[in-house]
Structure 1
Amino acid sequence: MSESPVRRRAVLAGTAAGVLAAAGFRPAAAQADTRGVNRPFTLTVMGTTDLHGNVFNWDYFANKEFDDSGHNDIGLAKISSLVSAVREQHGAHRTLLLDAGDTIQGTPLAYYYAKVEPITRRRVHPMAAAMNAIGYDAAALGNHEFNYGIPLLRTFEQQLRFPLLGANAVDERTGQPAFKPYVVKTVWRTGTAPLRVGILGLTNPGIAIWDKANVQGKMTFPGLVEQAKVWVPRMRRAGVDLVVVSAHSGADTSSSYGDALPYPENAATLVAEQVPGIDAILVGHAHVEIPQRLVANKTTGKQVLITEPLFWGKRLSLMDFDLEWAPRGGWTLKASRSQVLNSNTVAEDPKIVRLLTADHAKVVTYVNSKVGTNKVAMSAATARYEDTAALDFINFVQANEVKKALPANTLPILALAAPFNRAAAIPAGEVTIRDVAGLYIFDNTLLAVTLTGAQLKDYLEYSARYFKQVTSAGPFPADSVTNAPTTTAPNGTPDYNYDIAFGLDAPLTYDVDIAKGAGERITGLSYGGVPVDPAQQFVVAVNNYRQSGGGGFPHISTAPVLVNQQQEIRQLMIDWVKEAGEIDAALFARGDWRLTAGGVGVVVQ
Structure 2
Amino acid sequence: MTRSDETTQKALSRARVRLRLAATSDLHMNLLGYDYHTDSAAPGVGLARVATLIARAREEVPGLLLFDNGDFLQGTPLGDHAAEAPRPHGKAHPMIAAMNTLRYDAVGLGNHEFDYGLDVLETALSGAKFPVLSANVLRRRGADPLRDDPLAQPWVLLDRELEDEAGVPRKLRIGVLSLLPPQVLHWNSARLGGRMEVRCMIEAARAHVPALRAAGADVVVALAHCGPSDRPETQGMENALLPLAAIDGIDALVAGHVHRLIPGPDYAALPGVDAEAGRVSGKPVVMPGIAGSHLGLIDLWLEPQAPGWRVSETRAELRSIARRGARGPEELVEEAPAVVAAVAKDHAATLAYIRRPVGHSEIALHSYTSLAAPCPVLHAINMAQRWYVRRALPDASLPVLSAAAPFKCGGPAGADNFTDVPPGPLSLRDIAAIYPFPNEIRAIEVTGAQLRDWLERAAGAFNRLTPGTPGQPLLNAAFPRYDFDVIAGLEWEIDLSRPARYGHDGSLQQPKSARVHNLRHDGAPVEDEQRFIVATNSYRIGGGGLYTPLAEAPVVLSEPTGSRDVLMRYIADAGPLRGPVPPSWRFSPLGGACEAVMESGPSVLHHLGAIAESGALQVRAGPLGEDGFQRVHLLL
> Fold-level match, TM-score > 0.5?
yes
Q: Give, in whole Å, the separation in 2 of the partners of 1:475 and 1:388.
A: 25
Q: Give, in whole Å, the separation in 2 of the partners of 1:591 and 1:421.
A: 20
Partner amino acid for 2:111?
A: N
Residues 173 and 218 in structure 1, CA contact (< 8 A), matched pair in contact too: no
Residues 245 and 281 in structure 2, CA contact (< 8 A), matched pair in contact too: no
Residue 556 of structure 2 corresponds to residue 562 of structure 1: yes
Match of 2:440 among 445, 448, 461: 445
Q: 1:561 to 1:188 in 2, by over 3 A?
A: same
1:407-422 equivalences under 5 Å are 407-422=394-409
Q: Give, in whole Å, the separation in 1 of the partners of 2:560 and 2:83.
A: 15
Show the counterpart of 2:258: 286
For normalisation by structure 1, the TM-score amounts to 0.84
Q: Give, in whole Å, the separation in 1 of the partners of 2:588 and 2:435.
A: 27
| SS of residue in 1 equivalent to 2:217 | coil
Residues 444 and 556 in structure 2, CA contact (< 8 A), matched pair in contact too: yes
Match of 1:150 among 118, 136, 139: 118
Q: Give, in whole Å, the separation in 2 of the partners of 1:161 and 1:579.
A: 46
> What is the CA distance between 1:40 and its match in structure 2?
2.2
Show the counterpart of 1:265: 238
Residue 193 of structure 2 corresponds to residue 200 of structure 1: no
Residue 314 of structure 2 corresponds to residue 336 of structure 1: yes
Partner amino acid for 1:86?
A: A
Residue 219 of structure 2 corresponds to residue 242 of structure 1: yes
> What is the CA distance between 1:107 and its match in structure 2?
0.7
Show the counterpart of 1:12: none
Match of 1:594 among 586, 589, 600: 586
Match of 1:511 among 493, 497, 504: 493
> What is the CA distance between 1:476 and its match in structure 2?
5.8
Show the counterpart of 1:497: 483
Match of 2:140 among 172, 178, 189: 172
Match of 1:56 among 28, 32, 39: 32
Q: Give, in whole Å, the separation in 1 of the partners of 2:408 and 2:314.
A: 38
Q: Give, in whole Å, the separation in 2 of the partners of 1:463 and 1:171.
A: 35
Residues 242 and 281 in structure 2, CA contact (< 8 A), matched pair in contact too: no
Residue 355 of structure 2 corresponds to residue 386 of structure 1: no
Show the counterpart of 2:393: 406
| SS of residue in 2 equivalent to 1:209 | helix
> What is the CA distance between 1:362 and its match in structure 2?
1.5
Q: Give, in whole Å, the separation in 2 of the partners of 1:106 and 1:246.
A: 20
> What is the CA distance between 1:104 and its match in structure 2?
0.4
Match of 1:139 among 107, 119, 134: 107
Show the counterpart of 2:341: 354
For normalisation by structure 2, the TM-score amounts to 0.80
> What is the CA distance between 1:101 and its match in structure 2?
0.5
> What is the CA distance between 1:176 and its match in structure 2?
2.1
Residue 362 of structure 2 corresponds to residue 375 of structure 1: yes
Q: 1:165 to 1:525 in 2, by over 3 A?
A: same
> What is the CA distance between 1:412 and its match in structure 2?
0.5
Partner amino acid for 2:546?
A: G
Equivalent pairs counted in the alignment come to 539
Residues 141 and 197 in structure 2, CA contact (< 8 A), matched pair in contact too: no
Match of 2:16 among 36, 40, 57: 40
Q: 1:524 to 1:332 in 2, by over 3 A?
A: closer
Q: Give, in whole Å, the separation in 1 of the partners of 2:356 and 2:556.
A: 34
Greater shift, 314-323 or 136-145, is seen at: 314-323
> What is the CA distance between 1:374 and its match in structure 2?
1.6
Q: 1:361 to 1:225 in 2, by over 3 A?
A: same
Match of 1:469 among 460, 464, 468: 464
Show the counterpart of 1:426: 421
Residue 283 of structure 2 corresponds to residue 304 of structure 1: yes
Show the counterpart of 2:195: 218
Partner amino acid for 2:29?
A: G
Q: 1:262 to 1:208 in 2, by over 3 A?
A: farther
Q: Give, in whole Å, the separation in 2 of the partners of 1:205 and 1:238.
A: 26
The C-alpha deviation readout for 1:492-534, integer Å capped at 9, x for no partner, is 211111110102xxxx221122223334122221111122222
Show the counterpart of 1:526: 520
Partner amino acid for 1:65?
A: A
Partner amino acid for 2:298?
A: M
Q: Give, in whole Å, the separation in 2 of the partners of 1:38 and 1:331.
A: 14
The C-alpha deviation readout for 1:406-435, integer Å capped at 9, x for no partner, is 111121100001122232133222111222
**Which 5+ residue runs of structure 1 have no aligned equivalent?**
1-33, 68-72, 485-490
Show the counterpart of 1:395: 382
Show the counterpart of 2:161: 188
Partner amino acid for 2:154?
A: P
Partner amino acid for 1:62?
A: T
Partner amino acid for 2:121?
A: L
Residues 272 and 295 in structure 1, CA contact (< 8 A), matched pair in contact too: no
Partner amino acid for 1:280?
A: A
Greater shift, 562-571 or 127-136, is seen at: 562-571
Partner amino acid for 1:47?
A: A
**Which 5+ residue runs of structure 2 have no aligned equivalent?**
1-9, 143-147, 275-279, 323-331, 410-417, 501-512, 593-615, 620-632
> What is the CA distance between 1:599 and its match in structure 2?
8.9
| SS of residue in 2 equivalent to 1:407 | coil
Q: Give, in whole Å, the separation in 1 of the partners of 2:14 and 2:479.
A: 50
Q: Give, in whole Å, the separation in 2 of the partners of 1:216 and 1:319.
A: 37
Residues 546 and 556 in structure 1, CA contact (< 8 A), matched pair in contact too: yes
Q: Give, in whole Å, the separation in 1 of the partners of 2:451 and 2:155.
A: 45
Q: Give, in whole Å, the separation in 1 of the partners of 2:41 and 2:374.
A: 30
Q: Give, in whole Å, the separation in 2 of the partners of 1:380 and 1:44.
A: 41
Residue 89 of structure 2 corresponds to residue 112 of structure 1: no
Q: Give, in whole Å, the separation in 2 of the partners of 1:315 and 1:384.
A: 28
Match of 1:456 among 443, 451, 472: 451
Greater shift, 42-51 or 375-384, is seen at: 375-384
Q: Give, in whole Å, the separation in 2 of the partners of 1:332 and 1:112.
A: 46
Partner amino acid for 2:204?
A: Q
> What is the CA distance between 1:122 and its match in structure 2?
3.1
Partner amino acid for 1:496?
A: Y
Residues 49 and 313 in structure 1, CA contact (< 8 A), matched pair in contact too: yes
Residues 386 and 595 in structure 1, CA contact (< 8 A), matched pair in contact too: no
